[in-house]
């Protein structure tokens, strides 16, 4: 099994960090192999930013994503650029506060998560990435909850651990609800 | 006192650049001089944090000219030393890379290759400096360059680079592309005792008898450090075994420059490393290195599934070039496919080694590495040759 | 030591003699003052590293019987920075020329001074690139004649002592090769001082520079130093002019400031103590 996940948005949203959290959960706290690669412009804030994670139970040769199974879109630009690259029947998670216009006739499953609003309620929009990761976890069942929690804590400053776990839980619950509705 | 901090034994999810820094520290590197440059900055940042913990020195120099000079100075003071850079900085370092070659200085230079020429695309990958690594400084010389293709190899081959530089008293390059440098992957770091470290040969004579550039049978002279009482002189001028300049005799130039080349050429069997994959019965051989070799590996597996007899020769050592290994395999295959993230560099060397066997070159410029399907297509074309 | 041997014999690498310098050149005086200083202060010569760049004076590192290294053009200070930081026990002395240190190597000079790396720099200023046949350089006086200023120099020269002081050097002096006693005293001082120290030595280059500028012999150039030199210790280096009429010399700055080396070792110690505390 080789799964390709692409997360995209703009610099400063924690896109690369979210990819790292996911990959760490899969290959350090889980029993799979994972590779994260990234792409960004010379700007550290605001420019287009993309994180790609490949998860597999075999050795991973080609480290990049060619046709993602799952796309996380955190900006309108990211949606416009990548929504159509998803595999047929692939899963799209989008931040509904950032992606306002969607294309029609795409053969994909769309989950709309108001990640930025949820993060705002936690008084810190910087954790929108972790809200998305929470939703990702409940929607995809790809990684164990405990594994991803551990890897979140590995990847954030100690004093923000609680805030990040709260963001994860909110996103997780939201994702769970969405999934129920889809059924 | 800081023993357990020197080797971070265990499993880590790590970035290539960081694994490189950890490999250096594990190899015994205790001096880093550099200048910030994308996409190698993470190595400097890691070294700045880590070296003081293990009693090592990090210094940020005013430019890459100075960085390379400081690395040579530290090595002559007896400390394993390195720098890390990318294309534009690598260009500036060429001057003192030549000095390091001429004064036989063990040191490691990491080049995380981005898109060039000039400032090019700082955050995008390239394999465009592989010929510069071979021929970048003026004059004749032989050099060693290793090309990691995974985060694990960023760790392992950085250690290897230090060991080779200490054995042959020559600068050794770690030539990684931006993807390998910035990629995150699992790394297994062995225990302190399991890490093989080689130190330069030390003089076996009294200081007054020490002849600083008198080689042993392996063509490498033992090396004293500053401050030990050997009171020796080293110069970038052509010199004799005593280290004294000999700028006016052909003999001195012939002897020195020939030995600088020969100490690598005659030891090539001990240096050159390749990884052969599914080549036993292969009809088409892909020759690749760095990230490109991973695209190639995927392509080879797919080709096999489709019934094409393909194999991959992954180059771990780029310089000295594995020409004998390629020549041997070239006799047995119909075609050789060479994908590279440049307009054609290593492919020239492959063609030289392959002689009559046809070579299909696949250039690639820009953000993405070769997609496996592109290489697969070339393998299929090669099968009908 | 036998009676007929030179008193400095043990400080010189005899296999390297005869030296390459021209008749009337002042580099030999600088070498003499340097080894005299080594001898006078009874320094552990095994810990002294002499580093030089390219040019006539660059050969000096080969002549001193110390650990020594002859770098590429302009990189002596950067090399010395690496050696000194890697082994703090070393006394790293850079002896090089004005073109080497201030044209091609100018960036290394100002940054090493700014960091206050514990390096002692002695600059032989002969106003031109002697080894390549007398081209103008960063210290060539306005209107002077050189092979690349066939119509007279139209560039303003650096005031090296002012530059060194502004860059942060903790010791700054200028002497001519006529001031052998004072020069030797300055060298002795910096060999025992910590921090980035700078001594400019105005030195005659009659063969290459002097004869194009109406001073064809060493004697004539030394006569210029003799009539023009004016000792002004502790004066403002910004005012230290060099002109046909006046060469201001002296010890301009002798200050104390934490060295880079010291701050580095302090930081390393703190980091390591913190780690021990964490256990």
Task: State residue B356's pLDDT score.
Answer: 94
| Cβ–Cβ below 8 Å for B57 and C81 | no
Distance from C231 to chain B by nearest Cα, in Å?
A: 35
Contacts of B59 in chain C (CB under 8 A): 81-82, 85, 264
What's the structural domain count of chain A? 1
Token digits of residue C238:
């910004």
Residue C181, C-beta contacts closer than 8 angstroms, at least 6 positions apart:
none
Task: State residue A44's pLDDT score.
Answer: 66
| Closest partner CB to A35 (pick from B38, B122, B185) | B185
Kindly list the partner chains of chain B, i.e. chains with 3 or more CB atom pairs below 8 Å. A, C
Say if CB C144 and CB C153 are below 8 A apart.
yes
Q: Which residue of A has its CA nearest to B37?
A: A42
| Closest partner CB to A41 (pick from B123, B185, B371) | B123
- Alpha-carbon distance of B238 to B36, in angstroms, equals 33
| Cβ–Cβ below 8 Å for A64 and B179 | yes
- Alpha-carbon distance of C244 to C41, in angstroms, equals 36
| Cβ–Cβ below 8 Å for A37 and B294 | no
Residue C4 lies in a domain: no
Q: What is the mean pLDDT of chain A?
A: 94
Token digits of residue C205:
């280059």
Contacts of A62 in chain B (CB under 8 A): 294-295, 297-298, 369, 371-372
User: Of the candidates A12, A97, A87, A4, which has an alpha carbon nearest to the alpha carbon of residue A49?
Assistant: A12
What's the structural domain count of chain C? 1
| Cβ–Cβ below 8 Å for C78 and B65 | yes
The 10s digit of each residue's pLDDT in C17-62 is: 999 999 999 999 999 999 999 999 999 999 999 999 999 999 999 9
| Cβ–Cβ below 8 Å for A39 and B38 | no
Residue C1 lies in a domain: no
- Alpha-carbon distance of B15 to C8, in angstroms, equals 56
Contacts of C272 in chain B (CB under 8 A): 1-2, 52-53, 55
Contacts of B94 in chain C (CB under 8 A): none
| Cβ–Cβ below 8 Å for A23 and B183 | no
User: Is B369 in CB contact (< 8 Å) with chain A?
Assistant: yes
Say if CB A38 and CB A28 are below 8 A apart.
no
- Alpha-carbon distance of C37 to C185, in angstroms, equals 7
| Residue to substitute from B5, B29, B77, interface C, most C β-carbons within 10 A | B77
- Alpha-carbon distance of B126 to B87, in angstroms, equals 9
Give percent of chain C with pLDDT exceeding 70. Answer: 98
Using the structure block, give the residue that is written with the tokens 């004066």. C235
Contacts of C13 in chain B (CB under 8 A): 233
The 10s digit of each residue's pLDDT in B340-364 is: 999 999 999 999 999 999 999 999 9
- Alpha-carbon distance of B181 to B203, in angstroms, equals 37
Structural domain that includes position C268: 9-278
Q: Report the alpha-carbon angle B91-B92-B96, nearest 5.
A: 110
| Cβ–Cβ below 8 Å for C47 and B227 | yes
Task: State residue B2's pLDDT score.
Answer: 45
- pLDDT over threshold 80, residue A41: no
The model carries a pTM of 0.96
The 10s digit of each residue's pLDDT in C92-131 is: 999 999 999 999 999 999 999 999 999 999 999 999 999 9
Domains and CATH numbers, chain B: 3-194 (3.40.50.970), 275-383 (3.40.50.920)
Token digits of residue B356:
């009559």
The β-bridge partners of B233 are C68
The 10s digit of each residue's pLDDT in B88-118 is: 999 999 999 999 999 999 999 999 999 999 9
Q: Report the alpha-carbon angle C119-B240-C120, nearest 5.
A: 5
Token digits of residue B104:
């036989």
CATH of the domain at C181: 3.40.50.970
Token digits of residue B248:
């006016």
- pLDDT over threshold 70, residue B4: no
The 10s digit of each residue's pLDDT in B199-209 is: 999 999 999 99
Strands C229-231, C128-129: pairing is unpaired
- Alpha-carbon distance of A124 to A26, in angstroms, equals 27
Token digits of residue C84:
């000194």
User: Of the candidates B181, B149, B150, B147, which has an alpha carbon nearest to the alpha carbon of residue B161?
Assistant: B147
Q: How confident is the model at residue A15 (pLDDT cuts 50, 70, 90)?
A: very high
| Cβ–Cβ below 8 Å for A63 and B371 | no
Residue C2 lies in a domain: no
- Alpha-carbon distance of C184 to B286, in angstroms, equals 67
Where do the DSSP E strands lie in C133-255?
135-136, 171-176, 197-202, 229-231, 247-254
CATH of the domain at A21: 3.40.920.10
Secondary structure of chain C: what % helix, strand, coil (to 5)? 40, 20, 40
Token digits of residue B209:
């008898």
- pLDDT over threshold 80, residue B189: yes
Task: State residue C3's pLDDT score.
Answer: 61
- pLDDT over threshold 60, residue A162: yes
Contacts of A28 in chain B (CB under 8 A): 11-13, 186
Q: Taking each helix axis from N to C terminus, what angle separates C160-167 and C106-115, rounded to the nearest 10 degrees?
A: 40
Reduced to 3 states, what is the DSSP secondary structure of residue C68? Answer: strand
Residues of C52-78 as b/e, b for ≥16 C-beta within 10 angstroms?
Answer: bbbbbbbbbbbbbbbbbbbbbbbbbbb
Distance from C58 to chain B by nearest Cα, in Å?
A: 10
For the segment B33-52, the average pLDDT, to the nearest whole number, is 98
- Alpha-carbon distance of C73 to B253, in angstroms, equals 20
Contacts of C49 in chain B (CB under 8 A): 226-227
- pLDDT over threshold 90, residue A7: yes
| Cβ–Cβ below 8 Å for B186 and A34 | yes
Task: State residue B1's pLDDT score.
Answer: 40
Reduced to 3 states, what is the DSSP secondary structure of residue C253? Answer: strand
- Alpha-carbon distance of B176 to C247, in angstroms, equals 55
Say if CB B238 and CB B260 are below 8 A apart.
no
Task: State residue C2's pLDDT score.
Answer: 55
| Cβ–Cβ below 8 Å for B233 and C89 | no
Interface of B with C in 207-246 (CB under 8 A): 225-237, 242, 244-245
Token digits of residue C23:
């008749």
Alpha carbon C213 to chain centroid, angstroms:
24
In sequence order, which ranges of chain A are alpha helices (DSSP H)? Answer: 15-27, 76-82, 115-121, 128-140, 145-155, 161-182
| Residue to substitute from A35, A44, A61, interface B, most B β-carbons within 10 A | A61
Least confident piece of the model among A41-55, B320-334, C129-143: A41-55
Q: HSE of C9 in the Cβ direction (CA atoms, 13 Å)?
A: 7
Strands A2-10, A33-40: pairing is unpaired
| Closest partner CB to B183 (pick from A28, A35, A42) | A35
> Cis peptide before B369, with omega less than 30 degrees from 0?
no
User: Of the candidates B264, B236, B235, B186, which has an alpha carbon nearest to the alpha carbon of residue B19?
Assistant: B186
Question: Rounded to whole angstroms, what are the CA distances from C109 to B57, B86, B92, C83, C203?
Answer: 20, 25, 18, 16, 20
Say if CB B112 and CB B86 are below 8 A apart.
yes
| Closest partner CB to A40 (pick from B123, B371, B373) | B123
Q: How confident is the model at residue B3 (pLDDT cuts 50, 70, 90)?
A: low
Structural domain that includes position A85: 2-182
| Cβ–Cβ below 8 Å for B78 and C86 | yes
User: Of the candidates B126, B81, B20, which has an alpha carbon nearest to the alpha carbon of residue B345?
Assistant: B126
Token digits of residue B279:
């080549």
Interface of B with A in 178-197 (CB under 8 A): 179, 182-186
Strands C67-70, B233-235: pairing is parallel
- pLDDT over threshold 80, residue A183: no
Contacts of A38 in chain B (CB under 8 A): 182
Say if CB C75 and CB C108 are below 8 A apart.
yes
Contacts of B38 in chain A (CB under 8 A): 42
Residue A178, C-beta contacts closer than 8 angstroms, at least 6 positions apart:
A111, A112, A113, A135, A139
Q: In this structure, how many other beta carbons lie within 10 angstroms of the beta carbon of residue A88?
A: 8
| Cβ–Cβ below 8 Å for A28 and B291 | no
Interface of B with C in 54-83 (CB under 8 A): 55, 57, 59, 61-63, 65-67, 69-79, 81
Phi/psi class of residue B293: alpha, beta or left (left: φ > 0; alpha: ψ in -120 to 50)? Answer: alpha
A112 membership: H or E segment, kind and range: strand A109-113
The 10s digit of each residue's pLDDT in B115-137 is: 999 999 999 999 999 999 999 99
Say if CB B157 and CB B163 are below 8 A apart.
no
Least confident piece of the model among B1-10, C35-44, C87-96: B1-10
Judged by 3 or more CB pairs under 8 A, whether A touches B is: yes
Distance from C213 to chain B by nearest Cα, in Å?
A: 31
| Closest partner CB to C276 (pick from B1, B52, B75) | B1
Q: C52 — phi, psi (to 5°)? A: -140, 165
| Residue to substitute from B176, B184, B298, B305, interface A, most A β-carbons within 10 A | B184
Residue B208 per-residue DSSP state: G
């Amino acid at each position: 099994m080789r799964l390709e996940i692409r997360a995209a948005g703009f610099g400063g949203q924690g896109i690369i960090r979210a990819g790292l959290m996911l990959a760490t959960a899969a290959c350090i706290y889980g029993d799979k192999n994972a590779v994260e690669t990234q792409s960004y412009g010379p700007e550290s804030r605001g420019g287009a930013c993309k994180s790609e994670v490949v998860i597999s139970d075999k050795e991973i040769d080609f480290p990049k994503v060619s046709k993602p199974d799952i796309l996380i879109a955190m900006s309108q630009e990211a949606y416009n650029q990548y929504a159509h690259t998803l595999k047929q029947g692939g899963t799209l998670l989008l931040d509904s506060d950032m992606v306002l216009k969607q294309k029609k006739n795409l053969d994909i499953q769309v989950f709309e998560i108001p990640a930025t609003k949820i993060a705002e309620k936690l008084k810190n929009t910087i954790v929108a990435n972790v809200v998305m990761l929470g939703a990702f976890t409940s929607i995809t069942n790809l990684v164990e909850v405990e594994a991803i929690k551990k890897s979140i804590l590995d990847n954030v400053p100690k004093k923000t651990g609680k805030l990040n776990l709260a963001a994860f839980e909110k996103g997780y619950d939201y994702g769970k609800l969405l999934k129920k509705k889809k059924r | 006192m800081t023993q357990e901090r020197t080797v971070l034994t265990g499993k880590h999810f790590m970035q290539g650049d960081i694994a490189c820094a950890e490999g250096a520290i594990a190899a015994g590197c205790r001096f880093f001089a550099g200048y910030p440059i994308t996409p190698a900055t993470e190595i400097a940042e890691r070294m700045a944090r880590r070296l003081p913990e293990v009693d090592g020195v990090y210094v940020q120099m005013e430019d890459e000219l100075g960085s390379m000079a400081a690395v040579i100075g530290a090595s002559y003071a007896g400390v394993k030393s390195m720098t890390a850079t990318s294309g534009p900085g690598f260009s500036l370092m060429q001057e003192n890379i030549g000095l390091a070659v001429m004064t036989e200085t063990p040191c490691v230079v990491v080049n995380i290759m981005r898109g060039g020429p000039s400032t090019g695309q700082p955050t995008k990958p390239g394999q465009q400096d592989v010929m510069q690594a071979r021929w970048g400084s003026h004059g004749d010389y032989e050099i060693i360059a290793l090309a990691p293709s995974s985060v694990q190899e960023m760790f392992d081959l950085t250690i290897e680079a230090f060991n080779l530089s200490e054995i042959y008293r020559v600068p050794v390059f770690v030539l990684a592309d931006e993807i390998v440098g910035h990629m995150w992957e699992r790394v297994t770091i062995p225990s302190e005792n399991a890490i093989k470290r080689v130190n330069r040969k030390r003089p076996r004579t009294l200081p007054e008898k020490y002849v600083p550039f008198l080689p042993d049978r392996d063509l490498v002279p033992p090396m004293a450090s500053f401050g030990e009482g050997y009171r020796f002189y080293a110069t970038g001028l052509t010199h004799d075994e005593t280290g004294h300049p000999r700028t006016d005799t052909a003999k001195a130039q012939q002897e020195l420059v020939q030995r600088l080349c020969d100490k690598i050429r005659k030891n090539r069997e001990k240096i050159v490393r390749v990884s052969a994959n599914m080549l036993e019965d292969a009809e088409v051989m892909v020759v690749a290195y760095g990230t490109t070799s991973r695209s190639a590996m995927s392509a080879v597996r797919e080709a096999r599934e489709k019934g094409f007899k393909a194999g991959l020769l992954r180059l771990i050592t780029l310089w000295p070039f594995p020409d004998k290994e390629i020549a041997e395999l070239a006799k047995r295959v119909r075609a050789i496919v060479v994908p590279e993230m440049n307009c054609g560099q290593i492919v020239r060397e492959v063609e030289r080694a392959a002689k009559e066997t046809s070579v299909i070159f696949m250039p690639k410029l820009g953000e993405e590495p070769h997609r496996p399907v592109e290489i697969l297509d070339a393998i299929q074309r090669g099968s009908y040759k | 030591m036998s009676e007929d041997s030179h008193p400095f014999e043990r400080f010189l690498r005899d296999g390297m003699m005869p030296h390459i310098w021209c008749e009337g050149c002042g580099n030999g005086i600088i070498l003499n003052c340097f080894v005299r200083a080594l001898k006078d202060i009874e320094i552990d010569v095994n810990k002294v590293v002499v580093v030089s760049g390219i040019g006539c004076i660059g050969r000096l590192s080969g002549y001193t019987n110390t650990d020594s290294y002859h770098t590429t053009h302009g990189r002596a200070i950067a090399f010395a920075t690496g050696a000194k930081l890697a082994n703090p026990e070393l006394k790293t002395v850079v002896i090089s020329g004005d073109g080497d240190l201030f044209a091609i190597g100018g960036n290394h000079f100002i940054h090493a001074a700014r960091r206050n790396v514990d390096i002692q720099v002695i600059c032989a200023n002969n106003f031109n690139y002697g080894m390549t046949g007398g081209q103008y350089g960063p210290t060539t006086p306005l209107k002077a004649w050189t092979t690349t200023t066939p119509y007279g120099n139209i560039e303003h020269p650096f005031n090296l002592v002012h530059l060194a002081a502004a860059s942060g050097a903790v010791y700054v002096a200028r002497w001519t090769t006529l001031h052998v006693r004072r020069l030797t005293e300055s060298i002795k001082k910096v060999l025992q001082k910590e921090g980035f120290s700078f001594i400019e030595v105005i030195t005659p280059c009659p063969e290459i520079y002097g004869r194009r500028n109406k001073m064809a012999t060493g004697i004539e150039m030394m006569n210029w130093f003799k009539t023009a030199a004016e000792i002004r210790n502790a004066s403002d280096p910004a005012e230290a002019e060099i002109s046909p009429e006046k060469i201001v010399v002296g010890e301009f700055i002798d200050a104390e400031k934490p060295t880079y080396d010291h701050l580095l070792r302090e930081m390393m110690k703190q980091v390591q103590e913190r780690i021990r505390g964490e256990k």
